Amino acid sequence: MDKRKLDILVLSCYAPPYNIAGALRVGRTCEHLQEFGHDVRLISASNVVSDRSIPALREIESWSVDWKDVNERARRLAGGRDRSLAITQSDKKFLTPKQKLLWHASRLFRNATNIPDMFRGWIGPAFDQASREIERRKPDLIYASILPASAAIVAEKLSKKFDIPWVCEFRDLWVANHYYSFARWRKVLDGFIQKRAIASSSALVTVSDPLASDLKAAFPTKRCEVILNGADTDLLDQLVHEPAQPSDKLKIVYTGTLYKGKRDPRVLFQAVSMLDPVLRDRVTIDFYGSDAPLYIDELATEFGIQSNVTCYGKVDYRTALIRQHQADVLLLLLWLDKSEQGVFTGKLFEYIASKRPIIAVGLDGNVAVELVRERGIGFASSNPVTLRDGLTSLLNTKLRDGAIAGLNDEALKGLTRRDQSRKLECLLLDTAAGNV
């Protein structure tokens, strides 16, 4: 490894201050690389979401590039940005016939036009902005963080034009993504686009060993490093100071997106319904997020625990951190399918940073489930009886001690964002030196 100062150009559709999955990883990684002594520049997309509550980047040269949204006209027909998101993500059985028609029309439109994704209109402006920056000061390497995959397209074009090595970070897999939502014919096309783009990359990065195995199978000649998301403990200390209010109830908190049949609380609700009635009355489950309140209400009613469950809707980033910090225990929902075995989710590390115990609902062998068990930072299962027993133990502890103890620093060892950024630094130094 050649330890020297690097000039790094980072490309990502998502970056702070937009509160969307992946933005925090990109921003905090840039800050740590800058802290390590490297020069970092970042090119991202403007107006990604309306929520801009993630802390802005510190001392990083960055450009939030305007772009043409290919879905804007379709959104206007559906009633605006927020309305179309509700139509595409809500449980379809709660939609009116008109909304269902719009949902299907939206799917057809996205299949035909969102190539490689909805940020296709960002590729040209991002390439132009990056080209100006490269002409002003040529970087040692380009680092593209995907998904969205448009960042990889820009990186591949820049690498070819300016003869600069580039590294592709797969926060999520592209064509092999278990949440891939396009049609079969699109998967064939996207496979071709991915193969062509990644062929010119010098190295790959992803977030877990199983995903790394998938990438190595697809690109056997490429070096692939696993860089976990990492816990931003220092950021949490800066933003959250509000203590939890004393309570004799066990407060379970979930923050984030729900996917019916995938990231779904059904098994937990079943476990709560199986508790001794006296203990069950001492459980509260609070959901903070934008999705599926009707489904959650229906599910709670099915298991007779309506009084235990509350949906608070979407909140900003800092409020979500506060609610996590004030919880007795945090709920991590994983898809109960072996295709998600390699998915940690950034939410796990956000939870770890709060130093609160975690209930993980997921299958044995899932990387997140195994991490929770190995580090002793909570309990994990997909079996409602096992979850019920774990809840009973937590409730008895809360009744006996008045509180649930937080995680100790040893449990976080090696899992902070800074730790993981140091590991990434080694790969980038090797790439710049041609040692990959």
Residue 320 CB partners (closer than 8 Å, separation 6+) = 255, 288
Residues 256 and 190 in one domain: no
Nearest CA among 287, 257, 259 for reference residue 51: 257
Whole-number Cα distances in Å, 205 to 130, 154, 208, 353: 22, 17, 9, 22
**Same domain membership, residue 150 and residue 45:** yes
Report pLDDT for 82. Answer: 44
Q: Are 202 and 431 in contact (CB under 8 A)?
A: yes
Residues 279 and 242 in one domain: yes
Q: Torsion over CA of 196, 202, 208 and 214, rounded to 10 degrees?
A: 40
State the total domains in the chain.
Answer: 3
Compute the distance between CA of residue 136 and CA of residue 411 in angstroms, rounded to an integer. Answer: 45
Instruction: Compute the chain's Rg from CA coordinates.
Output: 22
Question: For residue 360, what are the domain limits?
Answer: 233-412
- Same-domain check for residues 78 and 207: no
Q: Are residues 334 and 385 in the same domain?
A: yes
Q: pLDDT value at position 187?
A: 93
pLDDT at residue 84, as a whole number: 41
DSSP letter for 94, please.
G
Tell me: do 360 and 278 sit in the same domain.
yes
**Spatial contact of 330 and 407, defined as CB atoms under 8 Å apart:** no
Whether 147 contacts 169, CB under 8 Å: no
Is 1 domain-assigned? Answer: no
Which CATH number belongs to the domain containing residue 138 in this structure?
3.40.50.2000
Per-residue confidence (pLDDT) for residue 83, from 0 to 100: 41
Q: What angle do CA 185, 190, 195 make, to 5 degrees?
A: 135
- Whether 42 contacts 34, CB under 8 Å: no
Domain identity same for 195 and 324: no
357 and 380 in a common domain: yes
Write down the pLDDT at residue 67.
94
Backbone φ, ψ for residue 10 (5° rounding): -100, 135
133, 238: one domain:
no
How far is residue 342's CA from residue 367's CA, in Å, rounded to a whole number? 6
Q: Tens-of-pLDDT digits for all 436 residues of the chain?
A: 456 899 999 999 999 999 988 999 999 999 999 999 999 999 999 999 988 989 889 889 999 999 998 887 766 665 554 444 444 444 556 567 777 777 777 778 888 889 999 999 999 999 999 999 999 999 999 999 999 999 999 999 999 999 999 999 999 999 988 778 888 999 999 999 999 999 999 999 999 999 999 999 999 999 999 999 999 888 877 777 777 777 889 999 999 887 766 778 999 999 999 999 999 999 999 999 866 677 788 889 999 999 999 999 888 888 999 999 999 999 999 888 777 777 777 789 999 999 999 999 999 988 999 999 999 999 999 999 999 999 999 999 999 999 999 988 888 889 999 999 999 999 999 999 988 7
152 and 180 Cβ atoms separated by less than 8 Å: no
CB neighbourhood size of 45 (10 A): 24
- Same domain? 207 vs 311: no
Residues 61, 184, single domain; the answer is: yes
Residue 2 inside a domain? The answer is no
Token pair, residue 148, equals: 């969205």
Same structural domain for residues 406 and 424? no
How far is it, in rounded angstroms, from Cα 168 to Cα 129?
Answer: 19
The confidence score (pLDDT) of residue 151 equals 98
H or E stretch including 221? none
